[in-house]
């Protein structure tokens, strides 16, 4: 199954993706994780992307699209993938459709994790992320339950940057809800509930 996850920063896309990957073995393609890995490794892409990320702006399409193409072609993505954080604007969505069509593939669902902005600000302010594997958890979890790595606060999880990321979401990413409605693959889950309740509905919506 090929799935796109949509939703504001902090809606719980990564959290639900982690659960789907653990249970069903889909490839998890998170552009945020891929970009943070490039920043950490100090690659040319990472150096270029860092300024945009720290400011809460979108990284230029060309840089992100190349990363995604490479991951879609990888062996582990041939039996289903979850795109988390991509596409982020209409140009990325159109490119994704044409890349998949060229591979003889398509999207089965675009799942919107809907959460009011008050909740996402609170979640992001207290989020901790694993330095090694990108696992996320609320503050208080100091050691990664998946790999024992160290948990830290992301540079863009600071109040001013969170507000800017929410504006970018409203202006550039939210229009994709209509885009995928137009393709008849949009599904919506209420993400403002405990993680396991959200996950049960996610599976029902995706018929998993
Ligand atoms: P990215 O890493 O994609 O960040 P994001 O979209 O802002 O999403 P988040 O990771 O912040 O949130 P999430 O929905 O995954 O929430 P999570 O599950 O962690 O992007 C970062 C930056 O990279 C961008 O700003 C941009 O610069 C760049 N970038 C990335 N992709 C790009 C693209 N395609 N084009 C251009 N630039 C791009 O949950 C949040 C917290 O809440 C966690 O602590 C979690 O434990 C908790 N939580 C989750 N679910 C629940 C629940 N149901 N109840 C209570 N708490 C919950
Ligand atoms: Zn980890």
**ipTM of the complex model:** 0.95
- Indicate which atom in ligand 1 lies nearest the CA of residue 88: 34
- pLDDT number for residue 159: 87
Residue 165 annotated as part of some ligand binding site? yes
Distance 38 CA to ligand 1 centre (A): 17
**Is residue 165 among the annotated active site residues?**
yes
Q: Is 128 annotated as a binding residue?
A: no
- Is-catalytic flag, 105? no
Taking the whole predicted model, whether its pTM rises above 0.80 is answered as yes
User: Tokens representing 154?
Assistant: 């992301």
Residues with CB under 6 A from ligand 1: 7, 9-15, 31-32, 35, 52-53, 56-59, 64, 85-86, 88, 92, 123-124, 127, 136-138, 156, 165, 191, 193-195, 198
128 is catalytic: no
CA 9/CA 120 separation, integer angstroms? 7
Per-residue tens of pLDDT for the chain, all 208 residues: 999 999 999 999 999 999 999 999 999 999 999 999 999 999 999 999 999 999 999 999 999 999 999 999 999 999 999 999 999 999 999 999 999 999 999 999 999 999 999 999 999 999 999 999 999 999 999 999 999 999 999 989 988 899 999 999 999 999 999 999 999 999 999 999 999 999 999 999 999 9
What number does the ligand 1 atom closest to the CA of 84 have?
3
pLDDT of 160 reads 87
- Residues 120 and 133: their CA atoms lie apart, in Å, by 22
Residues 6+ apart with CB under 8 A from 69: 99
């Amino acid at each position: 199954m090929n799935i796109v996850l949509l939703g504001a920063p902090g809606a719980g896309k990564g959290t639900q993706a982690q659960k789907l990957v653990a249970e069903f073995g889909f490839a998890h393609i998170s552009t945020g994780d891929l970009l943070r890995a490039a920043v950490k490794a100090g690659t040319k892409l990472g150096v270029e992307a860092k300024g945009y990320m720290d400011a809460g702006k979108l990284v230029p399409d060309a840089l992100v699209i190349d990363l995604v193409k490479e991951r879609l072609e990888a062996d582990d993505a041939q039996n289903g993938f979850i795109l988390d954080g991509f596409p982020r604007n209409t140009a990325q969505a159109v490119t994704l459709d044409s890349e998949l069509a060229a591979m003889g593939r398509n999207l089965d669902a675009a799942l919107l994790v809907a959460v009011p902005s008050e909740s996402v600000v609170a979640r992001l302010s207290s989020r901790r992320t694993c330095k090694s594997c990108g696992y996320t958890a609320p503050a208080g979890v100091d050691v990664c339950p998946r790999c024992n790595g160290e948990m830290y606060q992301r540079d863009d999880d600071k109040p001013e940057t969170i507000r800017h990321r929410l504006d970018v979401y409203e202006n550039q990413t939210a229009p994709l809800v209509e885009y995928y409605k137009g393709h008849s693959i949009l599904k919506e889950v209420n993400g403002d509930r405990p993680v396991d309740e959200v996950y049960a509905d996610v599976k029902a919506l995706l018929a998993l």
